[in-house]
Amino acid sequence: MYSLLIEGGRPLEGEVTISGAKNAVLPLMAAALLTREPCVIRRVPALSDVAFMVRILTAVGAKVRSQGDTVSIEANRIRGFCDYDLVRKMRGSVCLLGPLLGRLGQAKVSLPGGCVIGTRPIDLHLKGLRALGAKIQIDSGYVCAQTRRLKGSAMFLGGRAGPTVLGTANVMMAATLAEGVTVIQSAACEPEIVDLAEFLNAMGAQITGAGSPTITITGVKELHGAEHEAIPDRIEAATFAIAAACSRGEVTLRGARPEHLHAVLDKLEEAGVRLDRAGGNLTVKGGRRLRPVDVTTQPYAGFPTDAQAQMMVLMTQASGISILTERIFETRFMHVSELARLGADITIEGPSAVVKGPSVLSGAPVMASDLRASAALVIASLVARGRTHVKRIYHLDRGYERIDDKLRRLGARIQRLSDS
């Protein structure tokens, strides 16, 4: 087990390179199961979630080779079984369901279970796959799905919190090999879905409308191998942008795609953060007094739930009252109690957090609870006076590639300690 020891109070200065997107790469790797031919995915970040996906693909019989930021996958002979022990540790592996069902006509994948941010049901995934003609039962904690051949159909995949990202990915992947045309209404519009559709089309799929609420997939007999470079991680970019603003520094986010970040950049500018988009790179300049803003998390292109915890830290430094409302995950405020330990003044009122600022934060031992809450604690530590010890940072390593090295190169005083 590792922890981070951070000395706060220094502005972040310089350039940081944004890695490939975790939430693009996981479904891209699963999509390689749809063909027996080799696939190559580039700009794959070195994350524990990716390492886990390599283990899971290997467990279903694929040959997987990693070299630097490139992963080669050959799923010539695979089986449709993914056991609980693997899935429970990385719920993103639920996106194997669609490719296994599309390729093999049967799949047995463990139910992923919930996590600290919410119950994380997969009812919409199953609704979509059943609409394609799959017979699905839940047996001893496993999703058991089978079909002679999937048949395209029209379906509505919206849930109580709007579209489902991995549910859209699962159904889109399965539909590429279904007989006939599939139309997904209320599809997720995230850039990661667009990236996946581009990779599937490079493999010979016929998908239109990705990025819009209506995606149309015309099934084909089989898919072939392809190469693809994943999009940069918009949530990592948002995290570093917010960290730069909080530390009152100046950081250029090399490789970030501002067009994937409109909602976050809009709120940062509303709060008084200066952005410079010259030369094709995005530079974030903190420094001036921060104004309070109200944020509500929404499906893309709204403010991303994965940047809510990080934004809350910025709001602790704004002069006034900000309200952050979480509309995607029902319990995504685990970071609030830990931020309060550092001196933040936050009150939870139902789905909203009322943040009073500016608060003087001071270092203290804190405990990470989930991936984005950990990122928020690291940002708060950079602002806090004195030293902060952030424990259980395995959560952080799931979704941020060497974040301590990247922050150190920006001038942060940060050490990785081994707690074992």
Q: Please list the active-site residues.
A: 115
CA distance 155 to 359: 48
Q: Shortest distance, CB of residue 220 to ligand EPZ, whole angstroms?
A: 25
Residue closer to ligand EPZ by CB (options 71, 290) is: 71
Q: Specify whether the CB–CB gap between 153 and 125 falls below 8 A.
A: no
Q: Shortest distance, CB of residue 335 to ligand EPZ, whole angstroms?
A: 12
| CB neighbour burial string for 262-301, b if at least 16 within 10 angstroms, e if fewer | ebbbebbeebbbebeeeeeebbbbbeeebebbebbbbbbe
Residue closer to ligand EPZ by CB (options 73, 396) is: 396
Q: Shortest distance, CB of residue 393 to ligand EPZ, whole angstroms?
A: 15
Q: Specify whether the CB–CB gap between 18 and 255 falls below 8 A.
A: yes
Residue closer to ligand EPZ by CB (options 200, 290) is: 200
CA distance 230 to 5: 32
CA distance 159 to 107: 24
Q: Shortest distance, CB of residue 234 to ligand EPZ, whole angstroms?
A: 10
Residue closer to ligand EPZ by CB (options 30, 384) is: 30
Residue closer to ligand EPZ by CB (options 92, 152) is: 92
Distance, C-alpha 139 to centroid of its chain: 29
CA distance 280 to 255: 9
Q: Shortest distance, CB of residue 293 to ligand EPZ, whole angstroms?
A: 21
**Residue 355 token pair:** 């943040």
> How many Cβ atoms are within 10 Å of 164's Cβ, its own excluded?
24
State the residues that interact with ligand EPZ by CB under 6 A. Answer: 23, 26, 92, 118, 120-125, 159-161, 164-167, 188, 305-306, 328-329, 371-372, 399
